[in-house]
Each structure stands twice: as C-alpha cells, then as structure tokens.
Amino acid sequence: MSATPRPSPISETERRERLSTLRSRMGAAGVDAVLLGSTESLRYFTGLVWHQSERLVGALITQADLFYIVPGFERSRVDSLPKLDGAIVTWEEDENSAETVAALLAAKGRVALDDALPLFVYHALAKALSAERLVDGARLIRDIRLHKSAAEIGITQYAMN
C-alpha cells in the first residue's frame, strides 16, 4: 500500500482570502479592527506561529493594514518567520503594548478582540482605548474558521489517515 502524499500547506493566497473575508465581515459587524493574540487564529489568518507568553505578540488587522505587534527584542525573530507581509510594529520593555496598539487606531471605532487573548491584554487595552471600544471577536473569527477550504480538508484527512 502506498503512502498518501503529504498535502500542501495553506498558501499565502488562501491566507489573503481569509483576511479579505475577515475585513468584509468587520464592516458588516461594525468594527474597525481585529486584534489577534498568539493564538491559532494568528496562524490561521497570517501564518505566523507564536506561543503565548507574558508579552503581547499578535496582529492588528484593519480595513487597509496588517500590523504585527511585537516586543522590540523579538523583532528579528518574528521578521524571519513565515507569515503574510505586514508592518512589524515594536514596543519596548518600558512601554505599554496596549498604547502601541492604540496609536495604530483611529481616535474612535470599535476593536474586536480574539477571544483567546489573555485577560491582562484586555485590561491594558481597556485603559488605553476604553472598554466601550472593545468587543468580543469570537463569533466574527469563529464563523470564518468554521468554513473549511479544500486545502484544510486535505490536511485534516491526511492527519486522520
């Protein structure tokens, strides 16, 4: 019996399509940005794989831009990892990462948060932006991730086999 060939990884084109879908749904949901943490959703939308820590590493997605938010000392490492193109915005140890995120956003507008973001990130953002501007992004993200592409089905089938 011959082994099943390993399927191709998710392509950059598919990840860009996912971002396009997210941006379209952001408008329909009345949000101006989505903040992803070091979660599976970060990998799903951008291809960047990073493990959760006590520092914010993630991505801010607006209608026009993709920003990677990273501590300054991790910039070169993040720069070298596979991911969609986007601006890498750093914050230093003596700075507040939530203030870095706030500086990238308009003075008004709502931000949908990845539901797997740590609570300390939420509290810092609530101070920097106000809690009224923060919304739960779980449904927005989940509804996109529930739809499986042929590539995802192929990867899942390969893993199951």
Strands 134-136 and 87-91, by their bridges, are unpaired
Tokens of 123: 């509290």
Condensed to tens digits (0 to 9), the pLDDT of residues 50-80 reads: 999 999 999 999 999 999 999 999 999 999 9
Of all residues in the chain, what percent carry a pLDDT higher than 90?
Answer: 89
Residues 140/22, Cβ–Cβ less than 8 Å: yes
32: number of Cβ within 10 Å = 16
**pLDDT surpassing 90 at residue 48:** yes
**pLDDT surpassing 60 at residue 84:** yes
Tokens of 27: 């408008």
146 contacts: CB under 8 Å, gap ≥ 6:
none
CA 40 – CA 20 distance, rounded (Å): 18
Q: What is the pLDDT of residue 153?
A: 93
CA 141 – CA 115 distance, rounded (Å): 9
Is the pTM of the predicted complex or chain greater than 0.85? yes
Nearest to 86 by CA among 59, 66, 62, 58: 66
